[in-house]
Each structure stands twice: as C-alpha cells, then as structure tokens.
Amino acid sequence: MPTTLENRASALLEVRGLTKLFGTLKACDGIDLTIGRGEIHALLGENGAGKSTFVKMLFGALEPAAGTIRWKGEEVSITSPGEARRLGIGMVFQHFSLFDALTAAENIMLSLDDSAPPGAVAARARELSQAYGLPLDPHAHVGDLSVGERQRIEIIRTLLQNPDLVILDEPTSVLTPQEADRLFKTLETLKAEGRSILYISHRLEEVKRICDKATVLRQGRVVAHCDPGQETAASLARMMVGDEVQPVVREKPGPAGETLLEVRGLSRKAAHPFAVTLHDISLAVQAGEVLGIAGVAGNGQSEFFEAVSGEVLQERADTVRIRGRDAGRLDISGRRLMGAAFVPEERLGHAAAPAMTLSQNLLLSRYRTDARAFLSRFGFIRTPALAAAARRIVAAMDVRKSGEDPEANALSGGNLQKFVIGRELDRAPMVMVVNQPTWGVDAGAAARIRQALIDLAKAGSAVLVISQDLDELFEICDAIAVMHHGRLSAPMPIAQATYEKVGLLMGGAAPEAASEPVLEAV
Amino acid sequence: MRIELVKRPQQSALFSILSPFLALALTLAAGAVMFFLLGKNPVTALYYFFVDPLLEVWSLHELAVKAAPLILIAVGLSVCFLSKNWNIGAEGQFIIGAVAGSILPVVFPGLQSWIVLPLMLLMGIAGGAAYAAIPAVLKARFNTNEILTSLMLVYVAQLFLDWLVRGPWRNPEGFNFPETRNFHAYAVLPEILPASGRAHWGFVFAMVAALVLWFVLSRTLKGFEVKVIGQSPRAGRFAGFSSGRMVIFAFLVSGALAGLAGISEVSGAIGQLRPSISPGYGFTAIIVAFLGRLNPLGIIAAGLVLALSYLGGEAAQISIGVSDKVARAFQGMLLFFVLACDTLIHYRIRLVRTARMDAKGAQAGHA
C-alpha cells in the first residue's frame, strides 16, 4: 500500500512485533511502535510493563526473540550498545552508569568510540552543556556531584554522539520544576533540530505537556497508541494500570497535635569529601501531620536522613527529640524503640540486603522493636513468625513477587519499595521518616504508598517525607520545607505553597515572604 | 562464538550444592594430568593418593588427627569470611594458641593435676583470640588492611615459636635439640579410642564447634548480623549493627578456635613444642572454609577432604615416589576450582553465536 510505504519513508524508527522472553515470561509481547522524525514519543507503563526491556532491545543491550526494527527505512539488528550509538540511538538511563572516582569528562570519554584527547572532550562537553542549558563542570569528580548533575553528564554524553533518537528514562525524577522546564526546552531544541525523543515517564502531566505521541504498555503488550494532548492524566493512568488509579485522599489538616518529632539546630560536618555539610536545621512534626522536605538530590537529604535516623549520632542528646524525649545520643535501634521508623532512599543495599529473602529483610529493621515476636531466648530466630509477618505485609501492600519468600533483588523496584514501606507501617510507628518514598516507582504503587503515609498521619502519627518529587509532596503534605546546600527553609503551609515558590527555594533563591534569611547566598 | 556469563536472578540452589563436587571432579582431572606429566600412571597415583589412605583403621585415625585442626580453624574463619573480614593469619593464631597453652607443662612442669589440661585449653583459646585481636583492633580503630596485618603476624608467630624452642623453652635434658620438654601425662589430650589409633579429643572439639557455629549462623540473630554485615554493610548499619564490633567479634571467634586447634594439636598429636608444629593448617583451612561453602556442616566434609590430601601426599611419596609437595599442588588446584565453580551459583554460562539476530525468521513468522 502506498500509504504504508510513505509512512515507512518518513518514520525514523519502526518497530514491529518485538518480543522478548525471559524463561516463560513474555516481558515484551509483539510490540509495535513508530517514531517519526522530530517527534517526542512517550512510552508509558507501570513497572514491569516491559518498558525497560523494550528500550534495552532498541539500545542493543538485549537481543529480541522475534520482531523487526526498521531504522530510517532499513531493517537493522542492533546487537550492542555500540551498534546502537553508531546508528544514532542514544540513551540516558534512569540508573546512571558512571564511575564515581573519574571526572565527568573521563566518564564521557569512556562511552566514546573514538579516542579523542581529554581536553577536547571536556571542551566539547562544556560547549554542549551551555548550548543545551545543562550546566556542568567537566572536571568535577562524579562522586562529588548530585544526582541531577550526574544526569546531565549522561545527557551530555549521549548528545556528544549526535544521535537522531534519544531515549530518556524517567529524566525529570531528579530535577526541580525549573530544571525540568529547562530540560523541556532542551528537548524542544533537540526536536527543532529534527531529532526524535523516546520519553519514558510516569509523570502524566509532563507527558501531556511535551509529548506528541504516546505508546502505553501493560504486561508486555501495547494497549494503546494515542495523542497525549487529547487524553487526560486520568485516562492515561487508566490505560497504564488497566484500572482506575485510586486518587490519593487527603483530609483538611486538623488542629495541631502534640509534637512527635523535633530537630533542633542540627549541624553536621561533611563526613567525607563527597558529603554535604548540614547547617542548623530545625523542624517539628506534629501528630497527624505530614511534613515534606523538598529539594534537589544532593543538597544534604541523605546526610539529614542519617542524622535523624540515628545511623549517625548527634553530639547533643536534645538535637533530635522523639515523642518529647531526647534521642540524639541513641542509635537507630534506640530510636526505633521510641516508636520511630525509617525508610532510606536506596532500596537495595540500604533498606534491604539484596541477597536476603523478604522475611530476613523484615528482621533487618525490626529485630529490636519486635524482639518478642521474632526472637526467642538466646536470640534464636522464629522463622514461622517472620514468614507470617512477611506474608501479612505482602498482602497489605499488594507486593507482587514470584515464589514464597524471594530474595529482595528478585523484586521489581516498586514492589520492593512497597515491601520496605509496609515493613515499617506494619509496626504502626508514631514517627515515620521516609526518604524518596516513590523514586522510580510506578503510578499504581506510588499512589498506594502515598495513601498509606497519609493514613498513617491520619491515625495520629507524625510523618516526615523527604522527596524530590514535588507532585508527590503537594499531594500528601500539610506543609513543605525546602533543603538547599544543607540548610532547611521554614516550612510553608500547603495552602500557601506553590510550585513556583518551592521551585525557587530548591534553586537556592531566598524566599520573598520569609521573615528571616534562611538561605545563604552561595 | 563467544561465552557469556549471564547473571541469574536468584542464586542457584542447585549449583550451591553442586559447585564443590564439580570443583573436586575438576581437581581430580587436573591431578590426573599432573601425574601423567610427572610420568606416573594417573590411575594408580590417584588411587594411592585418595583411596588407599581410607582402607585402614589407623589411617582413618590419622585422617581425624589432620582434619581436627582444619575444621576447627575453618569454622572460625567462616564467621570472618561471611562478615567479609579477611583473616589470613589463622596459622599465626594457631601457633600462639599452642604456645600460650604450653606455658603450664613447659614452664611449670611440676604442676601435675587434672586441672592442667582444661587450663591449657583455655589458655590456648585465649592466646589465639588475643593474637587475632591485634589485626582486629588495627582494622576497627585505624582501618588498616587486615589481610596484610594478619598475614604478617603469622611470620612473627613462627619466628617467636622458633626462638622459644631454641632458647628459653628448650628442653634442658634434650641434648640441645630445638624442642621443649615432653608434656607430662596430665597435659596430654587423650585419645578417643586408644585401642585403635591416635585420633584425639581435638576431633570432638572440632565437631562440637562446627555444630554450635552452624546453629548460631543459621538460626540466631548473631548469625544474621554476621551475614547482613558481610553482604551489605550499609543495610547492616541501617539495621543498627556495628561493623566495628563485628570485626572484633569475628576475629576473636576465629582466633579462639585457631588457638584451640593449636593447643589441641600440640597436646594431642605432638606432645611438645617444636620449631614447626603445623604443616600449614592455618592456610589450608582457608581452602576448607571456601570448599565447605562457609557453612560449618560443609566445612566438616571439606576438612576431611583436605585432610585426605595431606595423608595422600605422604602415601604417594612412599608408594609412588613423588614429592609430598604434590599435596600442596592439589590443595591449590582445589581452591582455584572451588572459586571458579562458585561463579556458576550467581551466573549461568551462555554460548552466543556471533551471527546476527535471526531477523529473517522473525519476519517470516510475523508475516
């Protein structure tokens, strides 16, 4: 048919029937997708829908079991990332593949096929970073950089290849709204140059705003090709999940309750060259309240979390107070015994030991608080009790897994996160501190986690949420404070907070309305 | 055609069990080649090496004598290695345990009572633990590399023992031989079945230690702590476990067991201190620990296998006239193959034809 031929001629990438099997599981099942030149194409889907598998096949990291890929009208087989780059396909991964001990420029060089001198690479990188509005010091060590800056390295090193198609995996999850806007401008520039973009995101508003077309995957299959401009966020979510996503319900904040978590004048010197120094951080979270801490990654959130959780002790006992009692000199177990619970940012390797089973990982954070349930005399582990509790959490949080008690690293990110959060919620803690509760988690799981945090506060607990995701904070918080360069702004009640105000604070601007100067000019 | 290692989503339970046997089989095959290259008949040589020592009762006793220190040391090392503390100095802890335990019979030979033997054992345990505490404290306090410090302390211990038996502890009635006086009857660890052979109570200690540690590691919070800190130190810190205290704990446990092995060997098998009291038990135990998958029950089996390699070396020297260094070669190959086969637990091997993906076939199927 002539129309088909015409389409083929104009399409940059045409994928037909792409299939990938893992054992008996069809991770991708006959996926069709067409991307035109100068098109921003969204790829939507829940975790485990097959998005990553699909793009890995496009990028040559996985070999398809069946199907064809046509690139600029020619049938191609992409056998390696090098081959993909040669064709003109670049990819920015969600989880960066950078060496901490090398500089940005050295990391960029590693991905180049020709051996350009380091100076030239650095110069090119600097040039590109200015042209596309992605500020970056090519000589900075990656270990010193924030997540947002690391992402810029990934983007710049992709752009250095001069690609026709750029695949971006959840790029805005680490950016401030202003930075995201800048990225969107970058994307528009790329589009105007005739490049195409395959944009993976779970932020539906964003997809509606910048994407020309969308392909929605569910359980390895295409459920829809659509024009996101014509859809609503709700209809897109429905396609992804196959069901209505329960909107998060938040009631009006009640009268302020008793202060359950208090931090007074917390300062902490950077423990190593890559860490952030904390300056005089104070906050208080009342019973029934969800307080959010916004901020771009790498502004001291991890250091703050370590201090509050007790992984690092404070000098003064009254720097951190839990339920009205000094906790600054207690370790994390001591603080848990006072009724606090903690969920760190990294799921694998921090919140959970990767090669241990779910029930063992349950013991990890609860062997002290639930010693009576999980341990008998002399520290013998009561395996049946643990297994029962793990089953309870799996059911309560709808954790999808294979096998009765799989290892943590066998779960998808979203499901492990549901388990890690459920592990703490199962204790009904009076104080809950969560760092990045839904990073890289799909819409359905994220909604569930957010609702659970709101419900916990409603039941009378104090919840402190550290997040880079402003949508999330606006959805669940009663007040939002912003962390920047190790300092924390005064909390803004949600009624007065706007994306713009919070975004400016995240970028380091002093708030107009702030009564005292909370941010230094850096 | 290329060979790819593909990461398994879960550890393979099958290969966790199979890997040591695969390693043994590969070692035997490589050993056969080695004997062939030495100009010996591989079948006969392997028979004398691995089968012949198992055919006589006295020889089985010798097996127990050699296995006892290997198992005792290796179960202690399993605690270290599981928590990623690389104690390479068990040989030194073995020697210091032997020296500390020998103080009573050598320096105070007049003290003759049933209390002497228990005290010797306790002093041996304390000596080994104290010697292991040196690299442990250095690591916990100053972050030194425990591989280097513990290994270097082995040479210190060997030279210290050498100096003792040639100098202050030399037997005054010993015609200037570099030996201490023979232990008196109260200081000798008794044989289990004196009628049939030399196996002493050290073997019983080894079995008890292995069972107790197996229980601790697999069933208790302490064992959980050891494994969490070893696998994921950050998760361990989140759990509230202290990796600094774990360094001390692991070294003290393994040092104590190495010390017990040392005094048991001197008191049960040798009966006096000499310049050399170990054919490298402390190092061979590292192989035992890994061959036994760092599981104390597996270590019992692995200890018997490695003990057999010592006996086989002696037997092969007598019956087919090869150097007993062959035993060392076998032990080395075994460790090599064990570590190589362990790869299969986490990875599977895939042969990839470099041919392009079968696009035509796929297209045909699609059409």
Using the beta-carbon criterion (under 8 Å), do A353 and B235 form an inter-chain contact? Answer: yes
Question: How far does B239 lie from chain A, in Å, by closest CA?
Answer: 5
User: Which amino acid appears at position B210 of this protein?
Assistant: A
pLDDT of residue A220: 85
Q: With beta carbons under 8 A apart, name residues in chain B contacting A309.
A: 238
Cβ separation of B227 and A332 shorter than 8 Å? no
Lowest pLDDT segment from A316-325, A469-478, B180-189, B321-330:
B321-330
What confidence score (pLDDT) does residue A518 get? Answer: 42
Residues A292, B233: Cα–Cα separation, whole Å: 29
* Chain A residue numbers touching B361 (CB-CB < 8 A): 66
Q: Inform me whether the pLDDT recorded for A48 exceeds 80.
A: no
A68/B359 CB distance under 8 A: yes
3-state secondary structure of B183: coil
Cα B156 to Cα A436, B151, B162, B248, distances in angstroms: 52, 9, 10, 21
Average the pLDDT over B348-352 and give the result.
81
Check residue A206 and give its pLDDT: 86
Average pLDDT over residues A451-472: 91
Reading the block at residue A307, the tokens are 């201090």
Which residue in the set A311, A355, A381 is minimally distant from B221, CB to CB?
Answer: A381
**Predicted confidence band of residue A23 (pLDDT cuts 50, 70, 90):** low
Answer yes or no: do A410 and B9 touch at CB < 8 A: yes
Instruction: Give the DSSP per-residue string, B194-255.
Output: TTT---BTHHHHHHHHHHHHHHHHHHBHHHHHHHHHHH-HHHHHHHT--HHHHHHHHHHHHH
Contacts with A379 from chain B: Cβ below 8 Å: 220-222
Candidates A66, A311, A407; nearest CB to B238: A311
How large is the average pLDDT for residues B223-249? 95
- Cβ separation of A368 and B232 shorter than 8 Å? no
ipTM: 0.82
Q: Tell me what the pLDDT averaged over chain A comes to.
A: 85
Question: What's residue A246's pLDDT?
Answer: 67
Average pLDDT for residues A182-211, to the nearest whole number? 87
Q: Look at residue A24 in the predicted model and tell me its pLDDT.
A: 67
> A266 vs A257, which has greater pLDDT?
A266
Q: 1.10.10, 3.40.50, 1.10.3470, 1.10.20: which CATH number matches B2-355?
A: 1.10.3470
DSSP string, B65-110: HHHHHHHHHHHHHHHHHHTT-----HHHHHHHHHHHHTHHHHH-TT
A406 touches chain B (CB under 8 A): yes
Q: Where are the alpha helices (DSSP H) in B265-324?
A: 281-291, 296-319
Chain A neighbors of B232, CB-CB under 8 A: 349-350, 353-355
Which of B237, B239, B357 shows the shortest C-beta gap to A77? B357
Q: Name the band, by pLDDT with cuts 50, 70 and 90, for residue A252.
A: low
pLDDT in tens, B175-200: 889 999 999 999 999 999 888 888 99
- Cα-trace Rg, chain A: 24
Q: Say if A2-241 and A259-353+412-506 have the same CATH topology.
A: yes
Tell me, which fold does domain A2-241 have in CATH? Rossmann fold (3.40.50)
- Domain regions of chain A by residue span: 2-241, 259-353+412-506
Please state the pTM of the whole predicted model. Answer: 0.79
Could you give the percent of chain B with pLDDT greater than 70?
A: 96
Chain A residues lying within 8 Å of B228, measured CB to CB:
353, 356, 364
Flag the least confident range among A395-399, B159-163, B313-317: B313-317
What's the pLDDT at B349? 84
Residues of B in contact with A410 (CB under 8 A): 9-10
Our CA-based measurement puts residue A406 at a distance from the nearest CA of chain B, in whole angstroms, of: 8
pLDDT for residue A139 = 87
pLDDT single digits (tens) B270-283: 999 999 999 999 99
Question: Any idea how long chain B is?
Answer: 367
Q: HEC states along A396-462?
A: HHCCCCCCCCCEHHHCCHHHHHHHHHHHHHCCCCCEEEEECCCCCCCHHHHHHHHHHHHHHHHCCCE
- Measured between CA atoms, the residue of chain A closest to residue B359 is A68
3-state secondary structure at position B140: helix
| Residues of B engaging A, defined by a Cβ cutoff of 8 Å | 9-11, 219-222, 224, 227-228, 231-232, 234-240, 356-357, 359, 361-363, 365-366
Question: What tens digit of pLDDT does each residue of B40-90 get?
Answer: 889 988 898 889 889 989 999 999 999 999 999 999 999 999 999 999 999
Which chain A residues contact residue B220 at CB under 8 A? 378-381
Rounded mean pLDDT of A186-215? 88
Tell me which chain B residue has its CA closest to the CA of residue A76.
B359
- Domain ranges, ordered by start, for chain B: 2-355
Name the band, by pLDDT with cuts 50, 70 and 90, for residue B354: low
User: Distance of CA A135 to CAs A140, A187, A440, Å?
Assistant: 12, 15, 24
- Domain at A259-353+412-506: CATH code: 3.40.50.300
Nearest to B235 among A66, A79, A350 (CB): A350
- State whether residue A355 sits within 8 Å of chain B by CB: yes
Question: How far from chain centre, in Å, is Cα B44?
Answer: 28
Residue A356, chain B, CB below 8 Å: the answer is yes
